[in-house]
């Protein structure tokens, strides 16, 4: 880097490419903040420190005043596959801080006039590779919500949030049939309560169960089972009673009444016993 912030003539900072944490320490005015901001500017296109400055004096005086050299930044990165990839920013003599020309150069390829071709904007936000002193102070001294958001971003928890959102959407979609059935059941109970159909008295017991017997409900609704049918069955069973003592039998009036009830269209005639009784 050269001509940028506290760095005048060209300065090279060798860093080991690998998964590690690098600290740059030095006396006041040695350019350590300028180095961090140059790296941040090249990778992200902006700077946390400058974004927090409301006074134009700070943003207008970003060039180094002690060297008659062009302002420029070069960052060489070890990229898996292509090899050494260079990210650069160049400023003309009259350009402002945000007017720099960003470019990317991969080995054996043409220089691309935009750093966004790397596709690193989201990863750089989620897995930020640098954290300046000012940014650390701003996070720790800020609001609790701001601290949470920053730690959330630094820890790369956004994919977890995305997964939770997808699961919530899937759960909501899967709950639709159950919610629809519950609403229909509530409406059905209200209709049964106001119905004069004899079957409506039996239906609530069938649908009140946690797992309703749908087959029984269907039979009741289609008339396959009914209170009338059950009553006739009981009467027919009574009609098959036998007379063991013909002389003292008291069942003849009852059998006669049952016969008339079961087959009201058959000609009724008084008799001592029903034909079905084998001992009459």
Q: Tens-of-pLDDT digits for all 280 residues of the chain?
A: 999 888 888 889 988 877 777 887 888 878 888 888 899 899 988 877 777 776 677 677 788 877 678 899 999 998 888 889 999 999 998 888 888 999 999 998 899 988 888 888 888 877 777 776 777 777 777 788 878 887 777 677 878 889 999 999 999 999 999 999 889 888 888 888 888 887 888 888 888 777 777 888 888 877 765 455 556 566 666 666 665 655 555 556 655 565 555 555 455 454 444 444 444 4
The alpha carbon of 239 is separated from its chain's Cα centroid by a whole number of angstroms, namely 67
Neighbours of 74 (CB within 10 A): 16
The alpha carbon of 11 is separated from its chain's Cα centroid by a whole number of angstroms, namely 49
Give the integer Cα–Cα distance in Å for 51 and 145: 19
């Amino acid at each position: 880097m050269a001509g940028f912030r506290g760095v005048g003539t060209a300065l090279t900072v060798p860093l080991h490419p690998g998964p590690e944490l690098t600290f740059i320490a030095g006396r006041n005015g040695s350019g350590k903040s300028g180095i961090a901001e140059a790296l941040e500017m090249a990778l992200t296109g902006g700077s946390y420190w400058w974004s927090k400055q409301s006074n134009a004096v700070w943003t207008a005086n970003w060039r180094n005043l002690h060297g008659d050299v062009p302002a420029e930044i070069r960052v060489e990165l070890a990229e898996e596959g292509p090899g050494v990839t260079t990210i650069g920013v160049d400023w003309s003599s009259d350009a402002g801080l945000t007017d720099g020309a960003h470019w990317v150069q991969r080995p054996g390829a043409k220089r691309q006039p935009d750093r966004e071709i790397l596709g690193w904007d989201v990863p750089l936000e989620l897995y930020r590779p640098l954290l300046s002193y000012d940014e650390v102070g701003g996070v720790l001294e800020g609001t609790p919500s701001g601290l949470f958001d920053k730690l959330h971003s630094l820890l790369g928890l956004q994919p977890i949030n995305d997964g939770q959102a997808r699961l919530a959407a899937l759960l909501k979609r899967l709950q639709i049939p159950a919610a629809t059935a519950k609403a229909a059941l509530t409406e059905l109970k209200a209709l049964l309560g106001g119905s004069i159909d004899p079957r409506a008295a039996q239906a609530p017991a069938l649908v009140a169960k946690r797992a309703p017997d749908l087959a029984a409900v269907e039979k009741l609704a289609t008339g396959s089972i009914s209170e009338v049918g059950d009553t006739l069955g009981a009467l027919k069973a009574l009609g098959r009673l036998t007379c063991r003592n013909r002389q003292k039998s008291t069942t003849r009036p009852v059998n006669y009444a049952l016969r008339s009830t079961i087959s009201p269209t058959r000609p009724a005639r008084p008799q001592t016993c029903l034909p079905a009784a084998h001992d009459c």
